[in-house]
């Protein structure tokens, strides 16, 4: 089974609306990364969270890591067409086995 589950898999939102993407792990995580990807291109780093309860914001995007460090949410306020793309969460596991695992991504479409 996938260690990092992202929900929803796909999201269609009217421009200007808020939205939330979730990333859930069955195991405690050491670090949680959020990336954005345009189809067929590389991953653009958004944010990294390490501490339980941590919250970071950049422009209209806010990411939180829960206290138990097993779930993270990415919230976009007043969505714009430029927010469209695939959002991926990645994580280092607490056993620190030297690799990052990724969820399968959430595909976000913004309707004008």
Partner 1 sequence: KAGVTQTPRYLIKTRGQQVTLSCSPISGHRSVSWYQQTPGQGLQFLFEYFSETQRNKGNFPGRFSGRQFSNSRSEMNVSTLELGDSALYLCASSLGGIPSGNTIYFGEGSWLTVV
CB of 44 to partner 1, least distance (A): 8
Residue 33 carries which DSSP code? Answer: E
Cis ω on the peptide bond leading into residue 8 (within 30° of 0)?
Answer: yes
Q: Rank residues 2 and 14 by Cβ distance to partner 1 and give the closer one.
A: 2
Does residue 45 interact with partner 1 by CB under 8 A?
Answer: yes
Query: In this structure, are residues 109 and 13 in contact, taking their beta carbons and an 8 Å threshold?
Result: yes
Q: Which two tokens stand for residue 54?
A: 């941590």
CB of 15 to partner 1, least distance (A): 27
Residue with tokens 């976009």: 76
Q: Which positions touch partner 1 (CB under 8 A)? A: 2, 30-31, 33, 35, 40-45, 48, 50, 88, 90, 92, 96-105
């Amino acid at each position: 089974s996938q260690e990092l589950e992202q929900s929803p898999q796909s999201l269609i939102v009217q421009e200007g609306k808020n939205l939330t993407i979730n990333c859930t792990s069955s195991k405690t995580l050491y670090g949680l990364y959020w990336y954005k990807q345009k189809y067929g291109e590389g991953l653009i780093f958004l944010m990294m969270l390490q501490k339980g309860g941590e919250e970071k914001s950049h422009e209209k995007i806010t990411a939180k890591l829960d206290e138990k460090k097993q779930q993270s949410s990415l919230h976009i306020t007043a969505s714009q067409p430029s927010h469209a793309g695939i959002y991926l969460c990645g994580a280092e596991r607490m056993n620190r086995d030297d690799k990052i695992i990724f969820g399968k991504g959430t595909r976000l479409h913004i309707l004008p």
